[in-house]
Chain A
Amino acid sequence: MAKLDDIIIEDTPGKRVLLMGNQAIARGAIEAGLGLAAAYPGTPSSEIMETLATASPKLGFHTEWSTNEKVAFEVAAGGAIAGVRSLTSMKNAGLNWVMDMFMTLVYGGVRGGYVIVVADDPDAHYSSNEQDTRFAAAYAAIPCLEPANAQEAKEMCKYAFDLSERLELPVFIRSVTRISHASGDVELGKIEKRENKPVFDKHWKMGWRWNVYGPPGAVEKHRWLHEQQAKIKQEMENIPWNKLELKPKQTLGIIASGIGASYAKDALKKLGVEEKVAFLKLGTPTPVPEKIVGKMLKSMKKILIVEEGEPIIEMQVNAIAKNVAPEVKILGKQTGALPAIGEINIDIAAQGIAKLTGKTLLPDEAREKTRTGVKKLISPRSSTLCAGCPHLGSYWALKQALRKVGGKVPIVNGDIGCYEQGGYGLSGKEYKPSFATESVRYPIEAPYETLDTNYIMGGGIGLMQGQYHAKYNDGPLVAVAGDSTFFHACIPAVINAVYNKSKGLFLVMDNFITAMTGHQPDPCTGKTVTGEDTKVLNIEDVAKACGVEFIKTVDPFDLKATQQAIEEALKSDKFAVVITSRVCTLQAQRMKQYAAKRMVFNKDVCTGCRLCVALGCPAITFDTKTKKAGIDPILCVGCGICADVCPFGAIKVET
């Protein structure tokens, strides 16, 4: 099998290859003759754009990492309005940023095919929540496709462009972690050569088609969207991935969609009841094909719905059943046959099927007991910041400065990025709920206990302003963010802080890249998604332009200077921005721009005070028997900051 970059643009229909779901989606778009794609990184969706970007210079279409999902969505919508096949991709949370345009674009729809790919994350492996974005597709009244494997991911993406053009509406593809970040065999199809000629006609088939305010106005355009629904319903009945396998005399059945259908198929086989159970595999969870569902329900006594996320199919099937087969018993997430939270898998699907067929699957008690015993042996492998990560320096300096400046209970508002690990807590340590009525200060043993609040990208800087205006007075107020997050979500909030006279410290940890999601370039990297040189935006300049008066940029490896800058900021009576600026260590190593120092550890001098352990660097070791710290020579990257942390001179940089 050749290299992925080559496979992705190879026009060899029929060839079978291994593709990750995200690569398959990208390949589907390429086969459909994509003209433009814009996205913002977010796990588990980023590889869609990364794959497209390897192909775009060769095939001549545009790709970009936009500053955030909303901008990406609009860039791609602009392409589609101009008749060019366009795609945007994002993670679940990204869709929350685009809702305004998303809900409004559909009033006039599109001219060129527009495919919106959203990768949900049931089980919140990489996300702040488990939200099921299929509801959003239903909310916007556009069809949602949901692939069951990598092959379908490719096919559906290709098909979605045609469907979008037939309906003149965007089409939504809902992926999940187990599709996007799983790989499977894919048979390649033909790459369609499209001219993607941009055209513009402002009254195309409808007056003021691309201007909701233009006559006949938004309400009439809403009417048009409703009229399209009949067409959508018709399409859903004929879509190749809505397939009913129903044999005479079967009275038990499963309706399953996307990855849920794959789990259900595997589970049926595992239980050996494939012949007994009718199977409706859905590729469109919303809207479901009413006629096919109705046809199945009429011969059923009991069915089980297997879907990943919220019970959105279950709700629709219940509504259909009311009319066509009210006697059918419908099992699913609403009835507790399947868990309402987390993700499913073969075993969970099997439990549901057992309930459908009236069997009970009993656990092997003895084995479970042995298992519990074995689990006690397994040490956790906690997630940490990398050895030599600049964020370690920022957190160390912040902790020292907060201690120095005083104030009873500081609030450190977190944000999303590698530095969010500043709120992951310490493994094995129990955090008990407290019911205090006064502010409480908790010790910070490691940087991983620093962040007091954390929700979503850009959230921290806003929360801090609310705390200030609520007159919180028990300690200093801080918010942190990274560079990609700064450009994505923080600029309006910075302007707001200046405009509405908030105070507090905004600590921007600038590592010049979107590290957490896999080192994608951002506006301060100097590179575009295809690696082309571009302008470097400087965060200090942006903050200045937003009216911030207290700004300091420091090197987080210089712990003293960083601590001092933070102390001054905390004491200042202004809204203050401190930028800790240093390239992500992994990135610097990769670019061969990293100068490692040689560290020497003198065990005789070490007092076992554990201060260096509190730095949180994974290369620092501690021997509980000898009560001495140390440095793991394999993990250490020689950044040297631990030498500045040790008050006894046990750690030195070799000169």
Chain B
Amino acid sequence: MTELNLIIAGVGGQGSILASHIVAMAAIDEGLLARVGETFGAAMRGGAVASHVRIGNEVQSPLVPKDGADIVLALEPLEGLRNIVNFLKKDGVLITNIHPWLPVDVNIGRAEYPSMEAIKNAVQSLGGRVVEVDATAVAQEAGNIRTVNSVMLGALAATGELPFSMDALKQAIRDNVPPKTIDANIRAFELGFATMKK
């Protein structure tokens, strides 16, 4: 394979870093090299978080170059937009949850939240494509609102762009989510996958 550059973006507390580690572990389990670079303060609840994942046979550094992401996987739409603007490849794809998590700046009326329409136009103006997922609703259907990240991983897997098997990915989910939530997360993953195939 050549290389897969992926960014998983979201808000602190949504599990984007965990999702990026799950992808990297699955890649390593199937003999590939993987690098993950987190950006921004991940510790703070509600802060912007982006995790860069680079997979291939020769990848060295952990940050995706400018206009270099094949896929931006956004657990939150605004965070998708924040990352595509610098990183999405010309023909790349933004897979985004459609459920916003309003920043405090919007909450107190100091800034405006962009509409989904504006986000789609923005991605298209940069040459990319948008896939929308109602991940929050799917997570609820899976029985645990906190499985948004697994839903999105399912949607990611459905693109067929991942250079490793679904089994490896599912195993990495099982190994990394809290034991009590394994079933819900696997269900969320499968529902996320199915949503895309519909």
Contacts and interface: CB of A to CB of B under 8 A. Distances in A.
Given A378-B78, A378-B114, A383-B44, A181 B38 contact: yes
Interface in B168-185: 172, 175-176
Given A379-B78, A379-B114, A18 B11 contact: no
A219 to B, nearest CB: 45
A265 B58 CA distance: 9
Contact of A345 (B32, B44, B59, B61): B61
Nearest to B59: A266
B87 to A, nearest CB: 11
Interface in A579-630: 586, 613, 618, 620-624
Category for how many chain A residues contact B: 35 or more
Given A3-B175, A265-B60, A377-B81, A384 B104 contact: yes
B106 interface: yes
Interface string B149-161: 0000000000000
Contact of A262 (B60, B67, B112): B60
Interface residues of B, number: 58
Nearest to A346: B65
Contact of B65 (A259, A261, A345, A618): A345
Identify the interface centre among A184, A380, A386, A518: most chain B CB within 10 Å of its CB: A184
Nearest to A625: B109
Interface stretch (A92-100, A234-242, A367-375, A497-505): A367-375
Contacts of B85: 371, 374-375, 378
B122 interface: yes
Contacts of A386: 44-46
B146 to A, nearest CB: 12
Interface string A260-276: 01110110011000000
Given A182-B35, A635-B46, A381 B61 contact: no
A375 B82 CA distance: 8
Contacts of A635: 46
Contacts of B29: 1, 16
Nearest to B11: A381
A484 to B, nearest CB: 15
Contact of A621 (B67, B107, B176): B107
Contacts of B60: 148-149, 261-263, 265-266
A489 interface: no
B144 to A, nearest CB: 15
Contact of B28 (A18, A259, A516): A18
A635 B46 CA distance: 9
B36 A2 contact: no
Contacts of B172: 1
A610 to B, nearest CB: 8
A18 B25 contact: yes
B63 interface: yes
A347 interface: yes
B40 A125 contact: yes
A467 interface: no
B41 A379 contact: no
Given A126-B41, A183-B21, A371-B126, A178 B61 contact: yes
A379 B35 contact: no
Interface in B82-124: 82, 85-86, 102-114, 118-119, 122
Contact of B34 (A126, A185, A259, A263): A185
A1 B170 CA distance: 11
A382 interface: yes
Contacts of A345: 61, 63, 65
B16 to A, nearest CB: 13
B34 A184 contact: yes
Identify the interface centre among B38, B63, B79: most chain A CB within 10 Å of its CB: B63
A140 interface: no
Contacts of B65: 266, 270, 345-347, 350
Nearest to A259: B61
Contact of B35 (A183, A378, A620): A183
B47 interface: yes
Nearest to A613: B108
Contact of A182 (B36, B47, B109, B125): B36
B38 to A, nearest CB: 6
Contact of A184 (B35, B41, B114, B118): B35
A550 B29 CA distance: 61
B102 A632 contact: yes
Contacts of B143: none
A347 B175 CA distance: 35
B61 A379 contact: no
Contacts of A373: 125
Contact of B105 (A370, A379, A518): A379
Given A126-B41, A262-B60, A632 B107 contact: yes
Nearest to B86: A371
B74 interface: no
A18 B36 contact: yes
Contacts of A315: none
B33 interface: yes
A271 to B, nearest CB: 11
Contact of A149 (B35, B105, B110): B35
Interface of B: 11, 21, 24-25, 28-29, 32-38, 40-41, 43-48, 58-63, 65-68, 78-79, 81-82, 85-86, 102-114, 118-119, 122, 125-126, 172, 175-176
Given A1-B176, A427-B110, A623-B109, 7 more contacts: A1-B172, A17-B28, A374-B126, A381-B11, A428-B105, A618-B46, A624-B109
19 contacts: A1-B172, A1-B175, A3-B175, A16-B29, A18-B25, A178-B62, A183-B34, A183-B35, A183-B62, A184-B36, A262-B62, A377-B81, A378-B78, A378-B85, A381-B48, A381-B82, A381-B105, A428-B110, A622-B107
Q: Which 6 A-B pairs have the closest CB atoms?
A: A624-B109, A182-B62, A381-B103, A262-B61, A379-B111, A262-B60
